[in-house]
Amino acid sequence: MSFTAHRKIQVLIVEDSAVVAEFSTHLLNSDPRIEVVAVARDGAEGLEAARRYRPDVITMDLHMPRLDGFEATRQIMEICPAPIVVVSANSHEAANNFRAMEAGALAVVARPEGRGHSNHASSAEELLNTVKLMSEVKVVRRWARSGISRTSNAAAPLSAPARAHVPIETVVIGASTGGPLALKTLLGELPKNFPAGILIVQHMTPGFTPGFVEWLGKSSGFPVKLAVHGEPIRSGIAYVAPDGSHMGLGLARTIILSDAPPENRMRPSVAHLFRSAGVVLGAKTAGVLLTGMGRDGAEELKTLKEGGALTFAQDEESSVVHGMPGYAISLGAASFVLPPEEISRLLGSLVRKS
């Protein structure tokens, strides 16, 4: 869906605070591409408004009377699906923020600071940009209580591509929109004694990454840490790039964080991670590109494949947004095209065999 000056992005605000709702309405309407069509004071009103207005995007508070934001999100995605952006007052409320994604929300952003605050402009821009980006996402109906979209079963490949017998030492993963749930699924299906380290770049609103790391570890059951510069990469642990730093590998299989310029407008970028892994480990790498907007990491995944690495891209049916993996597939960068659970199972099998 593409919006022009003649077709504004229609937004429904679900927020129980009248002050916050008025502020959010003014902020969103200040963008010439956005129009607030309704404000709901709780989740029950939000569900009715979603049915009535069929908005392009819904901004959702979590803590509300009658029907909270989690259940409202779940019911909206079952009955009249729309891209839902959780607007959180607390970036440290990890379990709640990412539980909303399990219910069907696409993104979590911090509530913008008020006028006069030093972070007002940046936090306001983050919300406006997120709403505009999410308006382009084609969501699908969720089936009651399943927690996932219904997709067809993807057949697993019969055999690995021909390659020299090279042990896989590190798995590098890139993800953006829709990535948290894909990562939860992928890590949750890996064997507990997975014999390789995992490095992850997940595009995330600044401030939410520590909470994301906490939630991902608890929800997947796989050990997850926030990456630290100079830390040795250990098998059976997933390391997530922190806010504002590229993540790469050192020659001694240590984590290298840097403040080099953004790539593909991102820092951390998937491209930086994949390129570093190719230089340091070459064919001892497995590269995985999951759901997300844009092209970050796609060309570098192809370079990894050409260097002998195993490469995976998430399939279109299971992706929230098929931009990054779709572009990689179009380049011929993926040895396998699968949903996250099948990527995980195949990784578990191939890494053990390496």
Q: What does the pLDDT average to over 227-248?
A: 97
Is 176 annotated as catalytic? yes
> Rg of the chain's alpha carbons, rounded to an integer?
20
Q: Is 203 a catalytic residue?
A: yes
* CA–CA distance, 352 with 341 (Å, rounded to integer): 17
Cα separation, 208 vs 202, whole angstroms: 11
- 131-145, 179-193, 285-299, range with the lowest pLDDT: 131-145
CA angle, 81 as apex, 85 and 59 as ends, to 5°? 20
Catalytic residue among 56, 88, 149, 203: 203
The Cα 342–Cα 354 span in angstroms is 18
Query: What was the pLDDT predicted at 92?
Result: 65
Average pLDDT over all residues of the chain: 89
Residue from 88, 123, 135, 176 carrying the catalytic annotation: 176
pTM: 0.88
Handedness of CA 138, 142, 147, 152 (dihedral sign): negative
Please compute the mean of the pLDDT values over residues 293-320 and round it to a whole number: 95
Q: List all residues 6 or more positions away from 303 whose beta carbon is below 8 Å from its beta carbon.
A: 274, 275, 278
pLDDT at 88: 86
pLDDT at res. 154: 40
pLDDT, residue 7, reads 86
- List pLDDT tens digits, range 93-133: 766 788 888 889 998 988 998 887 888 888 899 999 999 98
Q: Per-residue pLDDT averaged across 237-246, rounded? A: 97
Report whether pLDDT(354) > 80: no
Mutual angle of helices 179-189 and 94-103, in 10-degree steps: 90
Express the helix, strand and coil content of the chain in percent, nearest 5 each. 35, 20, 45
pLDDT at 231 exceeding the cut of 60 = yes
Residue 56 is a catalytic residue: no
Of 56, 296, 322, 335, the catalytic one is 296
pLDDT the model gives residue 151: 40
Q: How far apart are CA 171 and CA 277, in angstroms?
A: 9
Residue 90 pLDDT more than 90?
no
Q: In this predicted structure, what is the pLDDT of residue 115? A: 82
Between 148 and 39, residue with greater pLDDT: 39
CATH 3.40.50.180, applies to 170-353: yes
Distance CA 28, CA 58 (A): 12
Task: Give the helix/strand (H/E) hosting 70.
Answer: helix 69-79
Domain ranges of the chain: 9-134, 170-353
- Residue 4 has what DSSP assignment? -
Q: Do the first three CATH levels of 9-134 and 170-353 match, i.e. the same topology?
A: yes
Among 158-172, 211-225, 315-329, name the one with the lowest average pLDDT: 158-172
Average pLDDT on 70-83 reads: 94
Please determine, for residue 353, whether its predicted confidence score (pLDDT) is greater than 90: no
Is the pLDDT assigned to residue 144 strictly greater than 70?
no
pLDDT tops 50 at residue 149: no
CA 144/CA 137 separation, integer angstroms? 21
CATH number of 9-134: 3.40.50.2300
**pLDDT at 170 > cutoff 70:** yes
- Contact assessment for residue 247 and residue 269, using Cβ atoms and an 8 Å cutoff: no
